[in-house]
Structure 1
Amino acid sequence: MVVAAWIYTLIPAAAAIGGAVVAVNARPGPVVVSAIQHFAAGVVFAAAAGEILPDVMHRGSPWATVIGGGIGVIVMLLVKQLESWVRGPAGLLTAIAIDILIDGLVLGIGFAAGPKVGLLLTIALTIEVLFLGLTVATELGESITSRSRIIGITTALVVLLPVGALLGAPVGALPGPVLTGFFAFGLIALLYLITEELLIEAHETPDRPWVTALFFAGFLALLVLEEMIG
């Protein structure tokens, strides 16, 4: 399972690098970025609600849920605070690096829950990390003129995905309550990603009905895919 989690992280890693390549050659407009954010938020929300949440609820470990979820809240709020402590490109890159590491950790935890959960989380996080690649390249493009350097920095960041997966995958061998705590942590991390990053940034541009509808399109798309996988 550890090997599978590591291999699957290569998919979102490739998506992030691809997003950076696109951004340095043809920077997407704010409406396109907002559309990607809405769709990604819908997909990640479906993965959190349909895959991680049932595992947390059905394990019957309320204290493990509280502790794991509480740690998740603290960690994600610290990540948010970090952006104000370290300003400029360095702050952005640090926050994104932590986000990517946590994404990898969540993916590893997903594979600990089962191959199906890991696969659906891979799909959800691929779209989200694609957006991160676009964001990094766009922000760096304002201060760095070398396209290869921008892509190189993005590639260095996404290396943290497999690192996080390697840290998360072994939790499947831990006792049940501890595993529940990790699932609760992963659930909070995904909800934070949706509510405090993707959707907030997505609404920085004027709302358009078709863009907003992409949130629900992403949500339904993952639900349909889950039913097809069975």
Structure 2
Amino acid sequence: MELFGQALGLGTIGLVAGVVGAVVAALATRGSTSTLTSYVQHFAAGLIIAAATLDLLPEALALGGGWPLIVGFVVGTAFMLALRAVLNRFGHGHAAGEGHDHEDHAGHGGGTALAARPQVVAGVNLRLAIALAVVVLIDGAIIGVALSAGGAAALLIAIALSIELLFVAASVAGSTRGAGGTVATAVGVGAFVAVMMPVGAVLGALVFAGVSSTLLVAGLAFGAAALLFTAVAELLVEAYEIKESAGTIAMAAGGFLLFLVLMMLM
């Protein structure tokens, strides 16, 4: 019971950070597509890619790697693809105010680009919000795994992932406001994503307490695949539709560098 209490406490740090990020982004974005949203999404993507490549995969390799890592990564990718396919079954649509005459980046008419965009309900990009919720749930599980393993770095991992969550929640809140959602809706969807952190921490502590290294490696690889998929296929794709520049690319590099520095401090 003490382990679960610790997991809940560490996960709550991320919940608070995520709500703060969602509130700031919802108030800073003025109901239209925003350069700020693109910057935040690039920064969040950099953090998520760093979490996968600097934390989860090295830990999986240190525990033995091998076929459990490969299987876990393949299953994680397949899971995210299946999740995306299920969400796409809702159909495609646009919130009020979106530009239906927008042209795609290859210079062709907007029909193809618009058809590829996910459903937007009350300003909420459902596919992005649910994908990020899954990622944050996995982040929380990482905290639970660290606690279950008796790792002294659990607090630092929670702090690093909470900083990531601040920008992830800000990203989805800014996206919601940019698609015409209200401030309350933007904060609500950001809070929905953020609450997955304490939920994941408790579940991680429950599920991974005392498991074999084989299952632990597969779980870490699964999480890495989910993080990379969301950063590349969701966050960066949506950010690119808003604005792409040297500044946004630098923000992605900055997010990666921040997580690297935090890992070095651990």
TM bucket, shorter chain? 0.7 to 0.9
Match of 1:100, SS? Answer: helix
Q: 1:227 to 1:46 in 2, by over 3 A?
A: same
Does the CA-based 8 Å contact 1:17-1:151 persist in structure 2?
yes
- Conserved 8 A contact 1:101-1:164: no
Please say which of residues 101-110 and 199-208 is displaced more in the overlay. Answer: 101-110
Q: Which moved more, 1:5-14 or 1:173-182?
A: 5-14
Q: TM-score, with normalisation over the residues of structure 2?
A: 0.72
Which residue is equivalent to 1:185? 222
RMSD across aligned positions (CA): 2.8
Given the alignment, which residue of 41, 45, 58 partners 1:41? 45
The answer to whether the 8 Å contact 1:82/1:95 transfers is no
1:125 to 158, 162, 165: 165
Q: Counterpart of 2:115?
A: none
Percentage of matched positions with identical amino acids: 29
1:102-127: per-residue Cα shift (whole Å, max 9, x none)? Answer: 41233222441341434323322332
Runs of 4+ off more than 6 Å: none
Inter-CA distance 64–163: structure 2 relative to 1 (3 Å threshold) = same
Query: 2:218 is matched by which residue type in structure 1?
Result: G
Aligned to 1:55: 59
Q: Quick check: 201-210 or 94-103, which moved more?
A: 94-103
State the secondary structure of the residue aligned to 1:207.
coil
For the 8 Å contact 2:47–2:258, the answer to whether it is kept is: yes
Q: Would the aligned equivalents of 1:105 and 1:164 in 2 still touch at CA under 8 Å?
A: yes
> Where do 1:4-43 residues align within 5 Å?
4-27=6-29, 29-43=33-47
Supply the distance in 2 between the matched residues of 1:95 and 1:202 (Cα, whole angstroms): 11
Give ranges in structure 1 of 5+ residues lacking alignment.
Answer: none
Moved more, 180-189 or 6-15: 6-15
Shift of 1:179: 0.8
Q: Deviations over 1:125-162 (max 9, x none)?
A: 33222212333454461xxx6x5465446545543332
Q: Which moved more, 1:86-95 or 1:7-16?
A: 86-95
| Residue equivalent to 2:265 | 228
Q: In the aligned structure 2, how far is the partner of 1:167 from the partner of 1:140?
A: 34
TM-score under structure 1 length normalisation? 0.82
Seen in structure 2, the aligned counterparts of structure 1 residues 59 and 198 have a Cα distance that, compared at 3 Å, is same
Q: Which moves more between the two structures, 87-96 or 1-10? A: 87-96
Q: 1:217 aligns with which of 235, 238, 254?
A: 254
Aligned length: 225
